[in-house]
Amino acid sequence: MSLRDLRALRTTLQEEEDVVSFVRRIAQGRLDIVREERARRVAGSHASAAPDGLAAVFGQQQGAGSARPPRDTTVSADHPRAVELADLCDRLHFADFADLDDGELSALETALVAYESDRSTERKALFGRIDSLSRELIERYKSGGATVDSLLD
Q: Which residue has the higher pLDDT, 137 or 131?
A: 131
Average pLDDT over residues 13-21: 94
In tens, the pLDDT along 68-78 reads 666 667 788 89
DSSP state of 73: -
In tens, the pLDDT along 37-73 reads 998 889 887 655 554 555 555 555 455 555 666 666 7
Can you spell out the DSSP letters for 106-153?
Answer: HHHHHHHHHHHHHHHHHHHHHHHHHHHHHHHHHHHHHHTSS-GGGGG-
